[in-house]
A and B are shown apart, each in its own frame.
Chain A
Amino acid sequence: MAADFWVSSHYERWIVDRATLHQARAEDIQFAENPEYLDYLPIYFANLITKLGKKLQFRQRIIATATVFFRRFYLKNSYCETDPFTVIAACCYLAAKAEESPVHIKVIVAESKSLFSQESYGSRPFSSDNGKIAEMEFYLVDDLECDLVVFHPYRTLLSLCKKEASDSSSSEEGETEDLGVGIGPDDGPRYWGTGDGQLEFTPAALQTAWSIINDSYRSQLCLLYPPHLIAIAAIYLTFILHPPTRPDSSPVAAEHISADGARRRSSRQAHNPPRAAATPKKPQDPIAFLADLNVSLPAVAAIAQEIISMYTLWDRYSEDSMCGVPGVGTPSGEGADADGGPDGGHITPSFLSAVLLRMREARVMDASPIAPSVSRPVAVNKRLERAQAAG
């Protein structure tokens, strides 16, 4: 039943355990020069999908659906054996249709081409042939086993939290619009059961929770946990950032989360300084409220933990423009080993694009009928060098 998560394809077929997640990367690990870099790829790809989605003027939910499609696809496939850029374009194309907001394939192709040809992504040629994306869409639907209805945490957030009426007009900007128009409050019975009523959230706090949910797509959480638990974890983290019982909620709260994780990173934080947040009229005990929900609190804690780890990882990652250190993140630089990395400064898209390309080259070489494959798991760099020397 499409309205009930517990009998949905999402719940029945697409919530996996960590071992499955790990297994899905087995081949990539073989071809990666340093498996640690693989940890950054979920952020790298989620950012790319978000960028493409914004260019296509997608609503947040379409971006989220596209990201879930992408993650599910790579449960069954390897980065090194596919072209993730083609996959991203197809995921966006399909997600728009699945969310009943179709975009013409020509537009998808044009925007993908312009985004992926940027230096950060290796200035790669991206085919302007619609057929390539259409073909990919076919394989994608097949790999997704035709399960195209995806549940997201946004719905739970909105059904659990009511925006305080008083100053709702103050933050009409940006995503809050999504709250009103895109996704209405949940009028059905809450299938996982709640305590009573709704949480009182200031618009700023609601925005924070919303942003944390957006950010959660940079991790693999959407494959591990039901969306309503992710929403509750986001609410829980929001309480730490916007403690509702302390009128003087200070930025100090942010430091609890991680060095400067959620605060600095969350997309729209800047619009809503913490001063404006918090302080509902009558104090509500949020922890008691969460405890009353009929959900597993250890699971919520684990999700919160994972989100924090993702922020920590994301802290070491920066877009190219922000990275002023020369030499870091240069694609295919002089000698792969000197190519930056976790200790050489920030991980950048350029750097990861190069890592990805080398993985894919190594994989193709392995399959090449001309270059005889060298036994694994010798460091692929070595193999590459040898191949280069030979060529």
Chain B
Amino acid sequence: MLDEWSSNILQHDPMLLYRHKRDGNHRSVTSKYEILGFISSGTYGRVYKARSLSEGGTIHAIKKFKPDKEGDVITYTGISQSAIREIALNREIDHENIVALKEVILEDKSIYMVFEYAEHDFLQVIHHHSQTLRASITLTVLKSLTYQLLNGLVYLHSCHILHRDLKPANILITSAGVVKIGDLGLARLIYEPLQPLFAGDKVVVTIWYRAPELLMGAKHYTKAIDCWAVGCVLAELASLRPIFKGEEAKLDSKKNVPFQRDQLLKIFEVLGTPDENDWPGVVHMPEYQSMKRLDHFQSQLVGWCNSRIRGPQGYDLMRRLFMYDPDTRLTAKDALQHKWFQDEPKPTWNAFQTIPQQQIPPHRRITQDEAPSMMPVPQHMSQQGVGHAHMVAFGQSQSKPGSSASFASLSGGGGHYGAQSGGNGRKKARLG
């Protein structure tokens, strides 16, 4: 017979040998990076600033995904769909204007994605101008930011990837003034999807940036939703406030998606109520009847742009990005070729090149992480932390040899983004 030890392994822990081998080779997050502080917590995880302990101490942003759990019960249910997407897509892409994923570390039931660090983001630039400088963003900077954003989006779209969550907070800028599209957690490959896009996520895109076809209940949508969001972002950069700042109607108890009346009204007030000429497909939209009951508006876009974007080409670009009909809306590629970018002043690759140092937004604030954290903790405490987390998550399994810090926190915690509290429109509503 097999000895007891052996048969016990085969019966009860058949992956033991494998785990031993793997854990033995594992290099933990803290053995590779020094955690400098906590940046922000988003829907899916917490983001930390870290310094690499090798390669000359490069600075990185480490995103730690919350483990997927069900309700309050800590039953571990595997890697979230969002993390899978973000990991899978990031491994396939490589572009100057997309935040680069450096590595992924899987450790103690948590996933750590190590990204290149970006010192700023669009939201922060907007706040800096509206709160501190009290001046609008210069035309050169405005063009540079928009141009680079579009350049990254053209790449994503050429890879058949929809971002589906473009908004100022997700568009980052390095200290060298290079725009980096981030957060691919909602992004999807639309190349031959097995499931219709609608089937997976009922709600995509944060409400203020959500395209009219989505608000009208379209089951099918395209890359054009990202181009709408670019229009909204451009408008927000130009005016320093969201152009369509609607209230989101909440899902009902059965998780049905309600008619987004207020958001549509905010759009119609600026762009006018769409009719069949603007958008032949509008009559087939599920919410068409509800829409017809709303007050009727004329377009105010010319006036809106006059005071904010200055110049006919800027207006023309906005107008085309805000086409109601997704099929005629400007594509990212065509937007990049738009005359606005060819006219003086031309966009620059360092978006901050033309502005004085003191006008550049301040560095990202980092804080000590209040919640159970990645911040350095005394060794004896951290050991305890790991052991405990193991017990909670995996029952009988042993603490692994390679790990050293208390990452296995199962709570999300409530960090905040510096002084910026965005209001509900900044938060995206996501359904599982």
Contact = CB atoms under 8 A, between A and B. Distances in A.
A71 interface: no
A102 interface: yes
Contacts of B161: 2
Interface in B377-425: 393-395, 397
Interface stretch (A142-150, A215-223, A311-319): A142-150
Nearest to A9: B91
Interface stretch (B1-9, B171-179, B327-335): B1-9
A370 B4 contact: yes
A75 B428 CA distance: 41
B14 A83 contact: yes
Contact of A370 (B3, B10, B76, B395): B3
Contact of B106 (A59, A94, A138): A138
Interface string A20-62: 0000000000000000000000000000000000000001011
Given A105-B77, A149-B91, A62 B194 contact: yes
Contacts of B189: 2, 100, 149
B159 A138 contact: no
Interface stretch (A206-214, A246-254, A323-331, A357-365): A357-365
Contact of A134 (B5, B19, B76): B76
B81 interface: yes
A107 B407 CA distance: 29
A93 interface: yes
B77 A139 contact: no
Interface string B5-23: 1100111001101110110
Contacts of B191: 2-3
A388 interface: yes
B6 A361 contact: yes
Count class of interface residues, chain B? 35 or more
Given A134-B76, A368-B5, A182 B194 contact: yes
B339 to A, nearest CB: 28
A175 to B, nearest CB: 14
A183 B19 CA distance: 37
Contacts, number: 156
A308 B82 CA distance: 41
A155 B193 CA distance: 12
B15 A86 contact: yes
A258 interface: no
A369 B20 CA distance: 14
Contacts of B195: 100-101
Contacts of A148: 84, 87-88, 91
A342 interface: no
Interface string A82-124: 1101100000011001111110110000000000000000000
A1 B75 contact: no
Interface-centre pick from B19, B92, B104 (highest chain A CB count, 10 A): B92
B200 A364 contact: no
Interface-centre pick from A97, A360, A388 (highest chain B CB count, 10 A): A97
B388 to A, nearest CB: 15
Contacts of A367: 17
A139 B194 CA distance: 26
B174 to A, nearest CB: 22
B159 A141 contact: no
B216 interface: no
A86 B14 contact: yes
B299 interface: no
B303 interface: no
Nearest to B90: A146
Contacts of B188: 100
A133 interface: yes
B159 A371 contact: no
A150 to B, nearest CB: 10
B160 interface: yes
A9 B93 CA distance: 9
B160 to A, nearest CB: 5
B4 to A, nearest CB: 7
B60 interface: no
Interface-centre pick from B89, B104, B194 (highest chain A CB count, 10 A): B194
B92 A1 contact: yes
A104 B75 CA distance: 13
Contacts of A137: 78-79
A8 B193 CA distance: 18
Contacts of A391: 1-3
Interface in B151-197: 155, 158-161, 188-189, 191-195
Given A139-B19, A141-B106, A367-B17, A184 B160 contact: no
B2 A1 contact: no
B223 interface: no
Closest 9 CB pairs of A and B: A83-B14, A148-B88, A391-B1, A2-B92, A364-B6, A134-B78, A2-B159, A370-B3, A3-B160
Interface of B: 1-6, 9-11, 14-15, 17-19, 21-22, 75-79, 81, 84, 87-89, 91-93, 104, 106, 109, 155, 158-161, 188-189, 191-195, 200, 393-395, 397
